[in-house]
């Protein structure tokens, strides 16, 4: 809009609409990186909305249109960066822009919800996220939708100046918030605190170990990730992440390690003097002796029989 007012330069419509999509994409990726505690990468799927825009823009330019509602005699206006006259003959581009805005707004709000519900973030960091949502993103979102509303009305030659004024005021307010509250963005940039997250996962990991040491539920052959989550009240995702982080095992192998330790205890106590190896495997929570032998050797580098012989 500044380029247009200062130099009367009209930026191509496809650049403006694609630029808005990329803003959505990178904001979404940033929130995703906080949730996952790692840098989110741009994959092909994120380029699909831009490719759709490019395709629709080319189709409209060649005269192929699905929608035809734009008045060819509309007055040229610059509405927060959009030149109304650029949409003449490109009705579908406007529709796709509305769909993209709605789609990404929903995805971003969902990421905010996940962050505010996350068990890995402290109350302080959740306050930072909440402030960004309330004082910045909701204002920007309101501006995005009101801009599309005003633009849509202007494309059918309906004037609604009061909404235009309100939208411009919101644009000014969103900038003022960043001036008045300079820490709004800088605080959020520090939210991804790996030390804090690691510490929380460490606590969860020790609570899982404590549970398994006090409770022999793992001797049930059907005991799995869902069982740990149900009995400890810890979300499956956190159980999986904590075990992977601090044991370097996946959940099934982690559970099997407790079963193997239990079987070793039984061997040391003379269990095999009265029972078979197959009975030992079943007693330790394995469905088959073959699986028991495989896991035993994987964890101890020797078979159960070799371990038994070493004790004699």
What is 21-68 written as a DSSP string? Answer: HHHHHHHHHHHHHHHHTSPPP--GGGGHHHHHHHHHHHHHHTT--S--
Ramachandran category for residue 294: left, alpha or beta (phi over 0 → left; psi -120 to 50 → alpha): alpha
Q: Which of 188, 211, 227 is the last residue of a domain?
A: 188
pLDDT value for 197: 53
Range of the domain at 292: 194-311
Q: In this predicted structure, what is the pLDDT of residue 135?
A: 83
Please, are residues 7 and 13 in contact by the beta-carbon 8 Å criterion? no
This prediction's pTM: 0.59
Nearest to 69 by CA among 106, 49, 98: 98
On whether the CB atoms of residues 207 and 190 are closer than 8 A, the answer is no
Q: How far apart are CA 28 and CA 31, in angstroms?
A: 5
At residue 147, the pLDDT reads 86
Split into its structural domains, the chain has a count of 2
Query: Which portions of the chain are predicted below pLDDT 70?
Result: 1-6, 8, 37, 119-120, 190-199, 312
**157 and 220 assigned to the same domain:** no
138, 164, 188: which is the final residue of a domain? 188
What per-residue confidence (pLDDT) applies to 55?
95
Residues 118 and 222 in one domain: no
User: Within the chain, where are the H helices?
Assistant: 2-7, 13-36, 48-61, 91-117, 123-132, 138-155, 161-180, 183-188, 194-214, 225-232, 236-247, 251-268, 277-283, 289-300, 304-311
pLDDT at 2: 63
Question: Do residues 48 and 78 both lie within one domain?
Answer: yes
d(Cα 111, Cα 105) in Å, to the nearest integer?
Answer: 10
Same domain, 274 and 137: no
Q: Are residues 109 and 200 in the same domain?
A: no
- The closest of 126, 121, 254, 116 to 199, measured between CA atoms, is 121
CATH number where 249 lies: 1.10.10.60
């Amino acid at each position: 809009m500044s380029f247009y007012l200062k130099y009367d330069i009209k930026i191509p419509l496809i650049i403006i609409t694609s630029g808005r999509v990329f803003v959505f994409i990178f904001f979404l990726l940033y929130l995703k990186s906080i949730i996952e505690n790692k840098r989110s990468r741009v994959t092909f799927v994120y380029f699909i909305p831009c490719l759709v825009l490019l395709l629709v823009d080319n189709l409209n330019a060649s005269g192929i249109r699905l929608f035809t509602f734009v008045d060819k005699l509309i007055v040229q206006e610059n509405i927060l960066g959009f030149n109304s006259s650029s949409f003449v003959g490109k009705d579908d581009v406007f529709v796709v822009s509305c769909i993209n805005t709605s789609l990404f707004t929903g995805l971003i709000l969902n990421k905010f919800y996940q962050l505010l519900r996350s068990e890995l973030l402290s109350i302080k960091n959740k306050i930072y996220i909440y402030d960004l949502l309330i004082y910045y993103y909701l204002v920007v979102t309101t501006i995005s939708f009101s801009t599309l509303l005003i633009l849509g009305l202007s494309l059918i030659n309906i004037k609604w100046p009061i909404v235009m004024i309100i939208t411009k005021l919101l644009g000014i307010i969103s900038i003022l918030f960043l001036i008045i509250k300079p820490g709004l963005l800088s605080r959020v940039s520090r939210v991804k605190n790996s030390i804090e997250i690691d510490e929380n996962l460490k606590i969860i990991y020790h609570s899982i170990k404590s549970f398994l040491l006090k409770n022999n539920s793992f001797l049930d052959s059907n005991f799995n990730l869902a069982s740990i989550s149900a009995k400890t009240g810890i979300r499956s995702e956190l159980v999986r992440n904590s075990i992977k982080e601090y044991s370097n095992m996946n959940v099934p192998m982690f559970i099997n390690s407790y079963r193997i330790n239990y079987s070793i205890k039984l061997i040391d106590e003379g269990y095999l003097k009265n029972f078979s190896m197959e009975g030992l495997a079943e007693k330790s929570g394995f469905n088959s002796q073959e699986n028991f032998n495989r896991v035993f050797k994987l964890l101890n580098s020797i078979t159960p029989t070799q371990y038994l012989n070493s004790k004699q």
